[in-house]
Structure 1
Amino acid sequence: MTGHARHEAGKGDVDSAVRELLLLMPRMAGRVKRIPVPEVLQSQSLAPRHLSLLSYLLLDGPMTVNDLAARLEVAPTTVSLMVGDLSGKGILDRREDPSDRRRRIVAIAPEQHDAIAAWLAPGAEAWRRVLTPLSPAQRRLFVDTLHAYEAAVAEERER
């Protein structure tokens, strides 16, 4: 995109900004798709929610199924099914919570941690690099805008 087109989009012309984003989004998606998936995960047919689950565990460490469900905004039974599937494949570990034996703590299996970190960490680092210079209000606006876009796309598909 030329500097002129970016300049126009920055001046508040919504159509120019839409054009710029329509060109940018497929490039971003293409770059993400070209990140090599670790060999252990290549045959697993992972859905985006699996990637989100793995990202939370990588960035925030082990947590309960209920904590994961709250973060993923899905039912605990959905997370339990995903965790059961990924545990059976050796990708995740489930262990008893020492403070409450009825609860299970979910973590990335130690033997898979390095491969998953090598796969997901560069994206997290890129987001950190571009979000760090922004003020907290600007970061919130950016994230809220992406949420609103995702909701609007879902709404358009339902029409």
Structure 2
Amino acid sequence: MSRAAETPDGARVPTPEEILALGHVPLLASFFRRVHNDMPEPLREVFAEHGLTARHGAVLTQLVAAQPASVSQLAQRLHVSLSTASGLVGDLSRAGLVTRHEDPGNRRRTLVSMPQRHRPLFEEFVAARAAPLLRAMDRLSPRDRAGFVAGLTEWAREVEGQDDDGPDC
């Protein structure tokens, strides 16, 4: 097996096929830039009024997927420091988008959840944002879908590892 070409700093040079695939990545930027435009108006107003960012949205997405969660669980899932996660939760709590309460199983632990009144609005937003990806994945075979999910997951881990304080989008 021949060794892949490397740059002077040791990074692997992508193959021509990989370069073609990587050409799609910048096209996704517009999808991420229009996140606020895709938000339901009441949610967009809360985000604007309280200066909330995509990182706050990432916390809410985690709570829609599996709630309640402790602040340390959120920090771990988002690959951010505990203090960053705590600050994000505090901002969301002041905005009224999350509640904090004592864990009945461990009184020293605080759990974070999304109030039921906000859940349908945020679920609608997540579904709308996920629709293009889910349609694309539906066209893949189960094997290709599993490979895509594995590749995307590893890419996200690699990118997150470059920024100790986690993702911005």
TM-score, normalization by structure 2: 0.68
Q: Is residue 2:161 matched to residue 1:139? A: no
The aligned residue for residue 98 of structure 2 is 92
Per chain length, whose mean CA-contact separation is higher, i.e. which structure has more relative contact order (CA < 8 Å, sep 6+)?
2
Alignment of 1:18-97 (within 5 A): 18-22=22-26, 24-37=27-40, 38=43, 39-97=45-103
Structure 1: gaps (5+ residues): 1-10, 155-159
Structure with greater helix share of residues = 1
CA contact (8 A) 1:57 1:107 kept: yes
Q: Which residue of 1 aligns with 2:167?
A: none
How far apart, in 2, do the equivalents of 1:29 and 1:69 lie? 22
Identical-pair percentage = 26
Structure 2 distance, partners of 1:130, 1:46, is 30
Check the 8 A contact 2:100/2:112 in 1, yes or no. yes
Q: 1:19 to 1:131 in 2, by over 3 A?
A: closer
Amino acid at match of 1:87: S
Counterpart-to-counterpart distance in 2, 1:113 and 1:151: 27
Say if 2:97 and 2:118, in contact at 8 Å, map to a contact too.
yes
The answer to whether the aligner puts 1:113 opposite 2:119 as a matched pair is: yes
Shift of 1:90: 1.0
Aligned-residue RMSD, C-alpha: 2.8
Equivalent residue pairs, number: 142
In 1, Cα distance between the equivalents of 2:73 and 2:48?
Answer: 27
